[in-house]
Amino acid sequence: QQQVKQSPQSLIVQKGGISIINCAYENTAFDYFPWYQQFPGKGPALLIAIRPDVSEKKEGRFTISFNKSAKQFSLHIMDSQPGDSATYFCAASPGTGNQFYFGTGTSLTVIP
């Protein structure tokens, strides 16, 4: 059973555009939702994360929107740049020290 569902599988965006990646979960015990960025051959790097007590968190060009009632959260990348081209994974966890359940990943390509 897939704990976290992620879409789309791949995304192509023009430079300067907005990239949007969506995730959905079922387990209401999840209370931490991070997004990771991964470049080829590298480990996942923490990008931004949110707890369910807020509906939005913004860090620079990256924003997480969180809808607790719908059990969905999304990553918005504003003013997308070619350097943002990478694979993005959402994840969810029920708490400190617990495993992360990862989504299937989204391959983002930003065209100059």
Partner 1 sequence: EPEVTQTPSHQVTQMGQEVILRCVPISNHLYFYWYRQILGQKVEFLVSFYNNEISEKSEIFDDQFSVERPDGSNFTLKIRSTKLEDSAMYFCASSEGVTAESYEQYFGPGTRLTVT
By the criterion CB under 8 A, which residues form the site for partner 1? 32, 34, 36, 41-46, 49, 89, 91, 93, 95-105
- Closer CB to partner 1, 43 or 83, in the complex: 43
The least distance separating partner 1 from the CB of residue 34, rounded to whole angstroms, comes to 7
The least distance separating partner 1 from the CB of residue 101, rounded to whole angstroms, comes to 7
- Closer CB to partner 1, 16 or 60, in the complex: 60
The least distance separating partner 1 from the CB of residue 112, rounded to whole angstroms, comes to 25
Closest CA to 22 of 85, 96, 105, 101: 105
Instruction: Say how far apart CA 82 and CA 46 lie, in whole Å.
Output: 19
Going 42 to 22 to 102 to 94, the CA torsion angle's sign is: positive
- Closer CB to partner 1, 7 or 17, in the complex: 7
Instruction: Say how far apart CA 5 and CA 27 lie, in whole Å.
Output: 12
Are 37 and 105 in contact by the 8 Å Cβ rule? The answer is: no
